[in-house]
Amino acid sequence: MAVEPLSREEIETRLADLPGWSLADDRLTRTFRLGSHLAATAMVVHIAQVQEELNHHSDLTLGYTTVSVSVHTHSVGGAVTDKDFQLARRIQDLAASHQAT
């Protein structure tokens, strides 16, 4: 099944269901703040496990107590697709379990 890029309107509509996420440089982005470096590192590991499960990988940046995520689909020229929203929702769920803000 072919993966199709979403329109900007569709992206903006879907972002309403993902608090804290935004569209920047044609990517879904969010930075999560955690209580410690260990908590941030654990979240990165859990995100990596979800990415492997979905076979869809984001760019992650680990800071001292932060995790920044940038999601887009390489196979359609870096556009945002439904796959990106599926991954973002799973990351959002992980953040809740890690008590990230």
- CATH of residue 30's domain is 3.30.1360.20
Q: What is the pTM of this model?
A: 0.94
pLDDT of residue 42: 97
Q: Which domain holds residue 82?
A: 8-97
Q: How many domains does the chain have?
A: 1
Mean pLDDT of the region 71-86: 94
- State how far the Cα of 92 lies from the Cα of 98, in Å rounded to an integer: 10
| 3 in a structural domain | no
pLDDT in tens, 47-77: 999 999 999 999 999 999 999 999 999 989 8
- Distance between terminal CA atoms of the chain? 35
At residue 100, does pLDDT exceed 70?
yes
Mean pLDDT of the region 77-82: 94
| 15 in a structural domain | yes
| 20 in a structural domain | yes
- State how far the Cα of 66 lies from the Cα of 79, in Å rounded to an integer: 25
| 69 in a structural domain | yes
